[in-house]
């Protein structure tokens, strides 16, 4: 497995397929409708304009096994050192270390970009994602009961966070 930067041309279709499978079959993404191929143009553009990475785990044959990214946690200036990340693994490759490799690389990238905290919003019933994050040093930071409704039931959202030693010289403003 190799961790690579994802590009629209090389990876948009595979990322879209993973996202749409997750939307249709799980509560890992609190979304109802599949995304269109056109939506990926703006998604990649927004990531690039904010210098947020999109990384992928690829098999020996170049197949995208999973991907991860991060973005703003909230829009107000004082949150500038906090980011919320996402990691999604193709259903055929879960439980094989793909998610761990992707989140580990995101942690490195976040430190390089001088962020201070990574935040994960996870369905409280997603024990695999919770276990992954705990293994990587994330701790539970709070929960919102019945934050979402999908597949006929209420979903509790738990937040996990990992503090980084960066930025080296944080500033207001």
Q: Is the peptide bond before 101 cis (omega within 30 degrees of 0)?
A: no
For residue range 105-133, list pLDDT tens digits in order.
Answer: 999 999 999 999 999 999 999 999 999 99
Which residues are CB-neighbours of 24 under 8 A, at least 6 positions away?
A: 34
152 — phi, psi (to 5°)?
80, 15
Q: Which DSSP state fits 90?
A: -
Give the domain ranges of the chain: 2-163
Q: What is the pLDDT of residue 173?
A: 78
Q: What is the pLDDT of residue 126?
A: 95
pLDDT tens-digit series, residues 29-59: 999 999 999 999 999 999 999 999 999 999 9
Measured CA to CA, the distance from residue 71 to residue 74 in angstroms comes to: 9
The single residue listed with the structure tokens 């500038």 is 80
For domain 2-163, the question of CATH label 3.30.1020.10 is answered with no
pLDDT of residue 95: 87
> How high is the pLDDT of residue 80?
95
């Amino acid at each position: 497995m190799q961790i690579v930067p994802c590009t629209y041309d090389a990876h948009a279709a595979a990322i879209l397929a993973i996202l749409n499978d997750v939307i249709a079959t799980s509560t890992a993404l609190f979304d109802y409708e599949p995304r269109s191929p056109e939506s990926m143009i703006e998604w990649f553009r927004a990531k690039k304009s904010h210098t947020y990475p999109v990384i992928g785990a690829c098999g020996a044959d170049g197949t995208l096994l999973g991907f991860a990214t991060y973005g703003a946690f909230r829009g107000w200036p004082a949150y500038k050192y906090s980011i919320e990340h996402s990691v999604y693994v193709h259903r055929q490759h879960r439980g094989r270390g793909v998610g761990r490799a992707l989140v580990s690389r995101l942690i490195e990238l976040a430190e390089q970009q001088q962020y201070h905290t990574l935040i994960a919003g996870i369905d409280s019933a997603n024990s695999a994602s919770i276990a992954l994050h705990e293994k990587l040093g994330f701790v539970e930071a709070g929960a919102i009961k019945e934050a979402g409704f999908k597949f006929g039931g209420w979903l509790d959202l738990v937040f996990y966070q990992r503090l980084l030693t960066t930025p080296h010289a944080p500033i207001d403003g």
